[in-house]
């Protein structure tokens, strides 16, 4: 029999299972949930937890009839335990991706303004590479709960990715202040002060009417009194084109309009730090071949530049 320190080979295997049990107890919120997730009995869940606490000589969970919570020692151990399990599962997944072709339905949530010809073309390219994957794209500006709503992946544009998710950066996306020529009745503004009296269109995706820019003389803040608000950034785009107000919109929505003159960029000498497109998912253990292939495709297709 092989020995690792003072723990036998079989005890090591039991401990590995016990670590998975602890993770499922915490993630599921109860012993019953852990038992269901792992297809074992609730008494067996208790035995695995007792095994860990005995080995560590410390209590990991506070238990009551209503809920469970991690002790101080348990919180520290759980975090290390989760990282270790994810590392092992990621290694196993890496081996699996070498033999398993991406297939099945890939459910993705993305902002409303991703529904444009540029993204359609990208998705068509991905489908040609992986014809056995069915893309199920749901466009919403709401930040959905991936686990509760059954999503594999979220595409989110932000500067602050959720710490609860694994977030892989894809590319930078720049936003621009734009307006229809018909709206700029006093001519194209040359300075921040020239914007006095103009109003903005506020899409709910960014949920702000105040912007910070880096200008020729340093940082400046601009607030546009809203002319209209919407929870749909595509509607906001059309409102800007119709001359309702000034919009702060992503380049991939307005690039063609800027080239044609349908829209004009306001104060191009003032730059704002770009937002980042992230591919976010729940845990590395859920990184199946279809999810991995999709993220890798986006990195290759978009990662060398900004949209």
The DSSP bridge partners found for residue 215 are 218
182 within domain boundaries: yes
Could you tell me if 194 and 165 lie in one domain? no
Dihedral sign of CA atoms 107, 113, 117, 122 in order = negative
Where is the domain boundary, 97, 127, 162?
97
Question: What is the chain's pLDDT, residue by residue, as a tens digit (307 residues)?
Answer: 333 343 443 344 478 888 888 988 888 888 888 888 888 888 888 888 888 888 889 999 988 767 788 999 988 898 888 888 877 776 666 655 555 688 899 999 999 989 988 899 999 999 999 999 999 999 998 888 888 888 999 999 988 888 888 889 999 988 888 999 999 988 888 888 888 778 887 665 566 667 778 877 778 887 888 888 887 888 889 999 999 999 888 888 899 999 999 999 998 888 877 789 999 998 766 578 899 899 999 999 987 544 5
The residue segments making up the domain with residue 153 are 104-173+276-302
Closest to 183 (Cα-Cα) out of 258, 239, 260, 252: 239
Give a yes or no: residue 13 inside a domain.
Answer: yes
Note the pTM of the prediction, 2 decimals: 0.63
How crowded is residue 299: how many other Cβ atoms within 10 Å of its Cβ? 15
143 and 32 co-located in one domain: no
Cα separation, 196 vs 23, in Å, equals 56
CATH of the domain at 51: 1.10.10.10
Tell me the CATH number at 199: 3.40.190.290
Instruction: Find, among 68, 76, 139, 127, the residue nearest to 103 by Cα.
Output: 127
Q: What are the φ and ψ backbone dihedral angles of 108, each rounded to 5 degrees? A: -125, 135
Cβ-in-10-Å burial (0-12, 13-18, 19+) of 57 comes to exposed
Is 42 part of a structural domain of the chain? yes
For residue 38, what are the contacts with CB-CB under 8 A and spacing of at least 6? 20, 21, 24, 45
Same domain, 39 and 109: no
In a domain, 184, yes or no: yes
pLDDT tens digits for range 121-157: 999 999 999 999 999 999 998 888 888 888 999 999 9
**Residue 298 sits in the same domain as residue 163:** yes
Task: Give the Cα separation of 33 and 75 in Å (integer).
Answer: 19
Question: Would you say residue 126 lies in a domain?
Answer: yes
Q: What three-state secondary structure class fits 22?
A: helix
Same domain membership, residue 76 and residue 19: yes
Residue 78 contacts residue 22 (beta carbons within 8 Å): yes
Total domains, the chain: 3
């Amino acid at each position: 029999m092989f020995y690792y320190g003072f723990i036998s080979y079989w005890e090591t295997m039991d401990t590995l299972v016990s670590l998975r049990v602890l993770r499922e107890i915490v993630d599921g919120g109860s012993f019953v949930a852990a038992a269901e997730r792992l297809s074992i009995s609730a008494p067996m869940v208790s035995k695995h937890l007792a095994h860990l606490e005995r080995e560590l000589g410390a209590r990991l969970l506070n238990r009551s009839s209503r809920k469970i919570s991690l002790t101080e020692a348990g919180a520290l151990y759980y975090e290390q335990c989760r990282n270790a399990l994810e590392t092992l599962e990621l290694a196993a997944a890496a081996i699996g991706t070498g033999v398993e072709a991406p297939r099945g339905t890939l459910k993705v949530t993305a902002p409303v303004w991703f529904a444009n010809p540029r993204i359609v073309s990208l998705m068509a390219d991905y489908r040609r590479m992986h014809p056995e994957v069915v893309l199920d794209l749901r466009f919403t500006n709401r930040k959905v709960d991936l686990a509760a709503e059954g999503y594999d992946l979220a595409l989110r544009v932000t500067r602050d990715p959720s710490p609860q998710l694994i977030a892989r950066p894809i590319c930078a996306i720049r936003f621009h202040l734009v307006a229809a020529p018909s709206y700029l009745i006093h001519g194209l503004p040359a300075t921040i002060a020239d914007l006095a009296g103009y109003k903005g269109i506020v899409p709910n995706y960014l949920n702000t009417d105040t912007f910070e820019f880096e200008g020729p003389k340093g940082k400046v803040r601009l607030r546009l009194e809203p002319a209209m608000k919407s929870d749909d950034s595509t509607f906001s785009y059309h409102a800007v084109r119709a001359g309702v107000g000034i919009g702060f919109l992503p380049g991939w929505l307005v690039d063609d309009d800027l080239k044609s003159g349908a829209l004009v960029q306001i104060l191009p000498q003032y730059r704002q730090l770009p937002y980042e497109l992230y591919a976010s998912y729940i845990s590395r253990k859920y990184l199946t071949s279809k999810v991995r292939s999709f993220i890798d495709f986006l990195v290759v297709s978009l990662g060398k530049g900004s949209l």
